[in-house]
Structure 1
């Protein structure tokens, strides 16, 4: 049975969110726990997520762990 396109897109969005967790530490600071290896696709997702978080929430500092 073919998977619903909406369901597939939602699953991909969830997987991407889980692969790049962003933790809010303080009102202007986030932390990124870098787990496992990064390929170019995962790195692109990380950069996009961080930039979106910084611009939408006035984040000034990003801690990498």
Structure 2
């Protein structure tokens, strides 16, 4: 028979865990929407896989953010 002599309690900081999950989500989104810089004012956006409304929203957000932050004028869709 096993005698229990004590307990081990592990606490994880919820804030750290939430931040780590947000970073993972950002990385996944960045990898799932490849944006390639072609010239100083042009990016290429390869369209791969199936599209649903969630992916399309992520795609549009990523492209608009890239265009506004890097003064992109042209987006090539392939």
* TM-score bracket for the superposition, by shorter chain length: 0.7 to 0.9
Higher relative contact order (CA 8 A, sep 6+): 1
**In the TM superposition, what whole-angstrom CA distance separates every residue of 1:14-53 from its partner, at most 9, and x where no partner exists?**
1111110100000000000100111100100000000000
The CA RMSD over aligned residues, in Å, is 2.6
**Residues matched between the structures, number:** 65
TM-score (norm 1): 0.81
Q: Structure 2: how far apart are the matches of 1:19 and 1:54?
A: 18
Structure 1 segments (4+ residues) deviating >2 Å? 1-12
- Is the alpha carbon distance of 1:43 and 1:5 closer, same or farther for their aligned partners in structure 2, counting shifts above 3 Å? farther
2:20 alignment partner in structure 1: 11
Asked which structure has the greater CA Rg, the reply is 2
TM-score (norm 2): 0.69
